[in-house]
Structure 1
């Protein structure tokens, strides 16, 4: 595992959490309703979350990033991550995506990694939500790099979202974060990440880690038949976002990816995040992904957003009233320490 300064990854975690918490107030609202209630700008945490998150509380997006890091800190690899996500779910979070819940509640064996595959299979291989993309920055934050980063991103995504569009979107995003943190310019980093995505064999990675098995052969075959097209769709949406296009801020994984790439190239942290917040729909998730990208670029979160930042849920390893500034560094350090020992 190559070295990554702790300050860099901590900055990314704070960035995605603050962006998520800003977007919590406008989630599922229309741009017109947002403008009417909050005005033409959005610079601070506001009330109005449909799930009851208080101003300054980040949603399920950041909660699952932190749960993933807590899972890595247990030394259990993918099994530890899955157990931590299930503990988060069992504690009754205010917001849980449909496919995420179905995958984590899967009736497969407790230590099986195929819940996401079975949930995708139960959707007739149609569901491709953004529930994997929203949390996948955790893999880069935990310290995975290079080929290991791509493999781990695919596997962690497929724990809940096994559609190849979801898997390859996550592989792109974490490669993009790595390239940006390494100092590459925005478009060049995207091009480098797309090269990695195009060359990556997602099906082989999911077979190797045990996400695909004998009991999910149909899903394995469906993934095989669709992965070339999935890579092409990811490539198209990334290039579209770089070109300034935004199709939607829906919960569809490629809509979220395109929107995030579009927004996150702006010159300041606020200029990246505010458009995602003001457009509503799945604004918390789009803003969270934008925040991850902005953080990897080294853009600084406005300091006044950090002190009140909390996570809007309590589960094993995290208390709702904990200040993120006081607890994020230790979570990251523990995850990185354990991941370093396994690579």
Structure 2
């Protein structure tokens, strides 16, 4: 299993574990499932069967299907719209509004229509696809910014995604957890995401007000991303809401543990937007574990591979052009990753 494919399996399995507990309270989760969740469970509010990953992984896969077209950002937008038009069980409100514009600036227009307030986690949850597709370095940061802004153009969303993809890259290179976070924070501070969005055709004459709003807020957004990363590294968790910085902080906190289940299970058990937080945690854990991470505690070597019993049942809970709900992820992910490679 390649590292790229392994990260895709990791985030999908984590998402599928969290599907059953989404929007539930910790108390309700404990009462129904007990103190541990180590197997896929029923109970998804959107009707996902045990082992089916949600819109989070579906959009990761849709992004990879878009890259497999070899048509750049336009191909990604087309693939995401095909996913949407097929009527998935769950679609975030800003994601749906942005994609219905059917244009590269749809995310900017949707953000503008929100009064420049919406900063959900719908871009962050799928952005690992950009790293999986093979982007690296400056190209990775620029692609992360652009793909996020297709639906979530607030600078908090854009810079959170820049951080996450740089974090995955540093972890995959074998950097220890805190060092990788510091490296990714430097990337976030130095990249000019606004210029990347201009170059990609996401900002234009028709969205000048949004460009100004982004410019006015991006310095603070970078600072907020840095602060939440530090907070997560310090073990703090504000909530598992759908707010992008809450998700980032929670994921950084959870994903530093010593085994895959120790990373993912706390996100699942806390409920709220558990599937999305778990999905992001799974991506981070996958980059750590499948890169041959050699971090040591005094008494334990970390082991961050996906538990093998979770792989055979893993599916995606939706059918759209390029993917069938009945398909086994174990059978279809490797070819998808290979087809999506860029450069």
Category of TM-score, reference length = shorter chain: over 0.9
Counterpart in the other structure of 1:323: 328
Give 1:85's match in structure 2, choosing from 52, 64, 80. Answer: 80
Give 1:272's match in structure 2, choosing from 256, 263, 268. Answer: 263
Counterpart in the other structure of 2:153: 162
Distance 2:238 2:336 in 1: 36
Q: What's the TM-score once normalised by structure 2's chain length? A: 0.95
Counterpart in the other structure of 2:292: none
Distance 2:38 2:217 in 1: 41
Q: Tell me how large the CA RMSD over aligned residues is.
A: 0.6
- Within a 5 Å distance, the mapping from 1:125-144 to structure 2 comes to 125-144=116-135
Counterpart in the other structure of 2:64: 69
Distance 1:204 1:87 in 2: 28
TM-superposition CA deviations, 1:201-221 (whole Å, max 9, x none): 111110011000000000000
- Within a 5 Å distance, the mapping from 1:291-306 to structure 2 comes to 291-298=282-289, 299-306=304-311
Give 1:312's match in structure 2, choosing from 306, 314, 317. Answer: 317
Counterpart in the other structure of 1:173: 164
Distance 1:312 1:132 in 2: 19
Distance 1:135 1:163 in 2: 16
Give 2:339's match in structure 1, choosing from 312, 323, 334. Answer: 334
Distance 2:313 2:35 in 1: 23
Q: Report the Cα offset of residue 63 of structure 1.
A: 0.2
- Within a 5 Å distance, the mapping from 1:1-343 to structure 2 comes to 7-106=2-101, 110=102, 112-298=103-289, 299-336=304-341, 339-340=342-343
Distance 1:243 1:261 in 2: 9
Structure 2: runs of 5+ lacking an equivalent = 290-303
Q: What's the TM-score once normalised by structure 1's chain length? A: 0.95
Counterpart in the other structure of 1:3: none
Distance 1:142 1:59 in 2: 20
Distance 2:120 2:339 in 1: 29
TM-superposition CA deviations, 1:26-80 (whole Å, max 9, x none): 0000000000000011100000000000000000000000000000010110000
SS of 1:49's partner is: coil
TM-superposition CA deviations, 1:257-287 (whole Å, max 9, x none): 0000000000000000000000000000000
SS of 2:2's partner is: helix
Moved over 6 A (4+): none
Distance 1:202 1:323 in 2: 36
TM-superposition CA deviations, 1:154-184 (whole Å, max 9, x none): 0000000000000000000000000000000
